[in-house]
Amino acid sequence: RFQATMAASSLALKSAVRLPARRFASHFTFQPSVAPASLGAEKTKMNLCQAVNNAMDIAMDTDKSALVFGEDVAFGGVFRCTVGLQGKYGKDRVFNTPLCEQGIAGFAIGVATIGSTAIAEIQFGDYIFPAYDQIVNEAAKYRYRSGGLFSCGGLTIRATCGAVGHGALYHSQSPEANFTHTPGLKIVVPRGPIQAKGLLLSCIRDPDPCIFLEPKVLYRQAVEEVPSGDYSIPIGKAEVIKQGKDVTMVAWGTQVHVVSEAAKMAEEKLGVSVEIIDLQSIQPWDEDCVSESVTKTGRLIISHEAPLNSGFGAEIASTIQKRCFLSLESPIERVCGWDTPFPHVYEPFYLPTVWRVFDAIKKTVKY
């Protein structure tokens, strides 16, 4: 009996040791991009966190009015995206704020309206909602309500987004669609370090207030050869990262890598050629790029981590249904998060995984 008890305990211990590895395992494989030659020949290996840091470094070096502030950014932030910036640019330009998102956004709007460049960090996208009123009722409307006399265009709000493997309901949400309902804001989500650097620099220098959402699961996992110099990637332009002829798949952020895996499986197992579009900018979004692709393939699948109901995929589906109605060979499919709070231990069941996307491909080509 003693030996049986010890054996059972040993098995339980081994299971307990193995569980975290499964629980924290990523649900995708990062697909690195190659930077076009037009962005510069000199490159440096960076992860997404380092690319974001490099973009802010360049912005502060080229714009003496640029300020970086937020909760804990002085020592580098909880994700270490601002490491070294205070030491280089001083406490007057890189500094901590109180733990008050509404205050961070309000201060950022004030700084931007007097002509400085504000780069504000909201530690988690889940906690951007206390600042929602400031962002959608003040930042987004400042130019309009003043008849163009005033603007807070020099405003970029950085925040994390998406699942990280164990974030649960307050650290895994994707809030991008909440802001697309408000004219006057631009919303951007990069899929990797190359895009993160170029798109963030574009946001910081854009004449409109921007929300830049960083998929936190990619901070360390996404590593690419990033152009070392100062470059930008246009806001509002999607990128076709894989050509195909049978199905168009649209995604952004982390989900680009999920649909890329599913596309590879579909080609190997089903002989289906999939075209993949990284939307990059959620508002404004590249309607022409998606429409041209769907006109060619006749099928569209949209995938994002945010819940299905009122997710930005619904706006894409509505627009493409109108523009490409006579070209569609099957109903537009959406593979998204469920309409529930983000779970903790059941996170793998919530996410729009490779297998869920693969099933959607099978469904749409067999319609």
Could you list the active site residues?
A: 101, 171
Strand order in the sheet with 281-283: 94-96, 66-70, 117-122, 155-161, 210-215, 186-188, 281-283
Cis peptide before 352 (omega within 30 of 0): no
Residue 207, preceding peptide bond in cis (omega within 30° of 0): no
Q: What are the φ and ψ backbone dihedral angles of 121, each rounded to 5 degrees?
A: -105, 125
What sign for the dihedral angle of Cα 141, 146, 151, 152? negative
Sign of CA dihedral 203, 63, 78, 223: positive
Cβ-contact 216, 162 below 8 angstroms: yes
Question: Among candidates 356, 287, 357, which has minimal Cα distance to 315?
Answer: 287
Q: Give SS3 for 226.
A: strand
Instruction: Tell me the one-letter amino acid at 12.
Output: A
Amino acid present at 184: G
- H or E segment to which residue 295 belongs: helix 287-297
Which of 187, 335, 162 is closest to 261 using CA atoms? Answer: 335
